Amino acid sequence: METILGLSILVNLLCFSFVKSQNYNVLDFGAKGDGQTDDSYAFAKMWNATCGGEESIGKLVIPAGKTFLLQPRVFQGPCRSSSIHIQFDGVIVAPSNKEAWSIPKSQMWIGFSDVTGLAIVGSGTINGRGSSFWEQKVKVSERATALHFSRCDNLTINGITLIDSPKSHISIQVSKTVAISKINISSPESSPNTDGINVHGSTDVNIFDSTIQSGDDCIAISTGSVNINITRINCGPGHGISVGSLGEDGEKAEVSGVQVTHCTFNRTMNGARIKTWPGGEGYARDISFEDITLIDAKNPIIIDQNYIDKGRHGQTDSAVMISNITFVGFRGTSLTKDAMTLDCSPITHCKDVVMDGINITMAGGEKPTVNCQYVDGESSDINLMHDCFKGNTTA
């Protein structure tokens, strides 16, 4: 037994010296973890030690049983180590209200930039304590995203919980190869602009096995995003899973390859949505929503090419081109009679739209309606074919 133990210690030592890995615990850098003391300085020191360290894998520990108060901060790369693993089991809280933020108008609370191979893994909770921002109706441009990543290739987020962000909970920008799984995002249905996850300008993003309850989109995908795979997400309350909005102020939008499968929309304001501003350019294509369960969702299927926010008016001489869009296997209940609205641009039309296996009923047993404008496509359902596609073909 002793020799086996000795041998395993030896093997461990060998492994450690080979991989050259060391755990940095934030408590060793002077963090108090009492939920009151500002631990930002300890986090910065820990980050510098890990990111600038000699190890090939920087390992950082934020232990369970402690609550760390953090002011807005960006953890900047590139790092010397080829990857950074954050074992996160504690709680991180934002300052208790807006007045206590060191940078009250900051766009992000916890940011990571230019860090390759970052993994944030564990049972930890990030609490943005955003209620004072919501109650004071602070402008969206002056509220922070809780967890922001830019240029973080090969990013992993697993297991963690995020609650009550002032604005979006997670934002992924200009990053390649991202896996987000088994996370839980939760904020009140009434909280403004609290998207679950925003994906912008990123490629090969997998989001799966997670629960998102919030006051805005569960997941929103914006321009520059390619090959986004969303699987087994429990969404609601919230505004559903959206591509867009795209093409604001004449922007050239480019989104392609979005697969949303095995998701549930439970009491959401919308379900599967694509929204574009009039006057935009570019495209949104190769997008599929498949195997979707609806529980009293409002507007479960929407394409809105006349999206106009805050009373502004776009020009109408161009539009983001929407093509190869699939809605297959939607079943459950809609709270609104207008369950399916495909309101496409007269300039571009929506092309190659497929709708199949749609079985949406209303709670009272009434049959919901489908409204289509300028949609070209097909369905094996003769009613849908008649209501949506027949009258609207280009020719």
Instruction: Tell me whether the omega of the peptide bond preceding residue 192 falls within 30 degrees of 0, making it cis.
Output: no
* SS3 state of residue 264: strand
Tokens of 331: 């079943």
To the nearest whole angstrom, how small is the minimum distance from the Cβ of residue 276 to ligand NAG? 18
Q: According to the binding rule CB under 6 A, does residue 326 interact with ligand NAG?
A: yes
Quick count: other Cβ atoms within 10 Å of Cβ 237? 19
Pick the closer one to ligand NAG by CB: 84 or 319. 84
* SS3 state of residue 13: helix
User: Cα–Cα distance between 173 and 202 in angstroms, integer?
Assistant: 6
Catalytic residue among 85, 148, 169, 239: 239
Interacting residues with ligand NAG between 154 and 183 (CB under 6 A): 154, 156, 161, 163
Pick the closer one to ligand NAG by CB: 90 or 314. 90
Q: According to the binding rule CB under 6 A, does residue 184 interact with ligand NAG?
A: yes
Instruction: Tell me whether the omega of the peptide bond preceding residue 278 falls within 30 degrees of 0, making it cis.
Output: no
The count of residues interacting with ligand NAG (CB under 6 A) is 30
Q: According to the binding rule CB under 6 A, does residue 199 interact with ligand NAG?
A: no
* Residue 360: strand pairing partners: 332
Pick the closer one to ligand NAG by CB: 128 or 279. 128
Q: Which of 309, 305, 307, 303 is nearest to 319 (CA)?
A: 305
Pick the closer one to ligand NAG by CB: 132 or 154. 154
Residue from 38, 114, 142, 286 binding ligand NAG (CB under 6 A): 286
239 is catalytic: yes
Residue from 32, 182, 200, 267 binding ligand NAG (CB under 6 A): 267
E-assigned strand segments in 97-169:
108-113, 118-121, 125-127, 145-150, 155-158, 161-163
Cα-only R_g, the chain: 23
Q: According to the binding rule CB under 6 A, does residue 259 interact with ligand NAG?
A: yes
Number of H helices, E strands in the chain: 4, 30
Interacting residues with ligand NAG between 15 and 44 (CB under 6 A): 41, 44
User: Cα–Cα distance between 88 and 66 in angstroms, integer?
Assistant: 11
Pick the closer one to ligand NAG by CB: 166 or 314. 166
Residues in touch with ligand NAG (CB under 6 A): 41, 44-45, 48, 83, 117, 119, 154, 156, 161, 163, 184, 186, 206, 208, 211, 229, 231, 259, 266-267, 286-288, 295, 324, 326, 331, 359, 361
